[in-house]
Amino acid sequence: MDTNNLDSAQLDVLQEAGCERIYQEKGSGKSRLRPELERMTDSLRAADTVVVQRLDRLGRSLKDLIELLDDFKQHGVQFISLNESIDTTTAVGELAFHMIGSIAHFERRLISERTKAGLAAARTWGRKGGRKAKLTASDIRRAHAMLLDPNMTKAEVAEHFEVSRPTLNKALNETAI
């Protein structure tokens, strides 16, 4: 079952491999919308086998591919990539799948470690991550003063500062006056 635009050579290869049902995306290969892939994954049952001519016909990135293959494995669906000779119905194919998964896991860990190191370095330089605060210290002092008026509601104060009420509450709770 190939999930990308098929030319006649790809179609022939899949038919020769014995594919009973072939899914073909109609749109661009770069599109995030992949209705045929969704249709295929929705119709899969345990013991089914997904066959692609090449790995890049299934996933847009290594991350996409690993997620799909992992989902197949969790649901008892086998996978074959004809060009790369990956066949999870065999011991060697399953080893290849696990190697790809291990590389992807390693890549995710490296990215996580680099991100953490970058954030720690930024903190040592006095930088703080996250969104910029919507209310300045001066705004929060004014909000506190406005709320001393018994006729003023938090909703009105929030509207005055063009923030939501939860944002105002959070700022008021985090800042002691």
Reported as a single tens digit per residue, the pLDDT across 159-177 is 999 999 999 999 999 876 6
The predicted model scores a pTM of 0.53
Alpha carbons 165 and 125: distance in angstroms, whole number: 33
- Mean pLDDT (the chain) is 85
Under a CB-based contact definition with an 8 Å cutoff, are residues 50 and 44 in contact?
yes
- The per-residue b/e assignment along 93-104, b for 16 or more CB within 10 angstroms, e otherwise, is bbebbeebeeeb
- List, in sequence order, every beta strand (DSSP E) within the chain: 49-52, 78-81, 86-87
Find the angle CA(67)-CA(71)-CA(72) to the nearest 5 degrees.
Answer: 120
Q: What sign has the CA pseudo-torsion 128, 133, 137, 138?
A: positive
Tokens describing residue 76:
């008892």
Alpha carbons 176 and 174: distance in angstroms, whole number: 7
Phi, psi dihedrals of residue 86, rounded to the nearest 5°: -100, 120
Q: Is the pLDDT of residue 31 over 70?
A: no
Find the angle CA(84)-CA(90)-CA(96) to the nearest 5 degrees.
Answer: 45
Q: Is the pLDDT of residue 72 over 50?
A: yes
* Averaged pLDDT for residues 90-103: 82
**Regarding beta strands 49-52 and 86-87, do their DSSP bridges make them parallel or antiparallel, or are they unpaired?**
unpaired
